[in-house]
Amino acid sequence: MEASKTRTSFYRRLYVAWLIDSGTATSVPALIEATGMPRRTAQDTLAALAELDIHCDFVQHDGARNNAGHYEIRDWGAIDKIWVGTHLGQIKQLLGYP
């Protein structure tokens, strides 16, 4: 059974939030490397986290230029991040991520 666009979009947002929160991938280039998703998809997914009430901030590195910094999850909202971590294999499989 093929997953709906709504489901894959939701899981992609959960996975990106988990990657950031776990410190695995805290920048757009790192998200691209970890998932293989196109840059635009990574950027759009980051922007869409707020729709799930996941509070994600970009932290500019001191003295850095050109948006050098990293993302941090400040609040997961109603999402249970422990559930996401427990179901990572299922989420990655559904999304086709390594």
Predicted confidence (pLDDT) per residue in 41-97, tens digit? 999 999 999 999 999 999 987 776 667 889 999 999 999 999 999 999 999 999 999
Q: Which domains are seen in the chain, by residue range?
A: 5-95 (1.10.10.10)
DSSP string, 33-76: HHH---HHHHHHHHHHGGGGT-EEEEEEPTT--TT-EEEEEEE-
Which pair of tokens denotes residue 90?
């299922």
SS3 state of residue 27: coil
Please give the Cα distance from 98 to 95 (Å, whole number).
9
pTM: 0.92
